[in-house]
Amino acid sequence: MTKKELAERNIGMTFDFIRQVVESPELAKTIRDGAEIDFIDKDMPTKHEMMGKKKKVSLYKVEHVFEAVKG
């Protein structure tokens, strides 16, 4: 996947996520203060898992709806 394709995919997921938060405001409560939001494909490890980073991140698994990942 090229950088352009990755950027377009992430922008699309961001807008889908915002739409879902508007429809289900309780999802916003799952985001920790000061956390970075990262979207992960259901079949791929996150960049944080691959790099071993211990950042304050709220992860959301992307299928058809966004689901908070406990971590």
Q: What's the pLDDT tens digit per position in 45-65?
A: 555 554 555 567 777 766 666
This model's pTM is above 0.75: no
End-to-end CA distance of the chain: 27
Element housing 66 (H / E): strand 66-69
Residues 6+ apart with CB under 8 A from 35: 56, 57, 58
Domain of 23, in residue numbers: 3-69
Q: How far apart are CA 18 and CA 71, in angstroms?
A: 21
pLDDT (average), residues 26-44? 79
Q: What are phi and psi of 42, to 5 degrees?
A: -60, -25
Report the domain count for the chain: 1
* Length, in residues, of the chain: 71
Percentage, residues of the chain above pLDDT 70: 68
